[in-house]
Amino acid sequence: MHWLIALMMNLILLAAPVTEPTKVPRAWDAKTIVWQKVDSDGTKWSVLQGRSEVPGEAFTYAAFVPAGFHDFHSHATDARVAVVQGVLKVSFGETLDLEHLKSYPVGSFLFVPANVKHTMAADEDTIIIGTAVGPWHTHH
């Protein structure tokens, strides 16, 4: 009898709809971002809205790129990026390329397709806010 009650409870719980977190209006700028991850190289990362690990779910993120930093990588999904502080420098190609970086100042918007290799750099502290769809992975 106890197993029947346990089975019924499990079926009821499994049938209950999964609720998503309540969505509320939010706004961010360079000064109001709360950084969730700070790396030893000075870069910072935060998911502002949504969940970056959920397949098919859109999310918004912020990244801090410190002066003097550069990195060669690609992403698993498309990224749409706005520069909100500083100047982001980017070059596209199969290898690290610091000679052909193009500067994108505040107000610039970039679209970086999935799996496109690129070099990202900054000569001054720079913050970007981007949107993508999960699951998010950066390949170095």
- What is the per-residue pLDDT across 70-91, written as a single tens digit (0 to 9) for each? 999 999 999 999 999 999 999 9
Enumerate the domain spans of the chain: 34-139
SS3 content of the chain, % helix, strand, coil (to 5): 10, 40, 50
Cβ within 8 Å of residue 19, ≥6 positions away: none
Expressed in angstroms, the distance from the first to the final Cα of the chain is 56
CATH 2.60.120.10 fits 34-139, yes or no: yes
Q: How many CB atoms lie within 10 A of CB 31?
A: 8
- What is the per-residue pLDDT across 25-56, written as a single tens digit (0 to 9) for each? 989 888 999 999 999 999 999 999 999 999 99
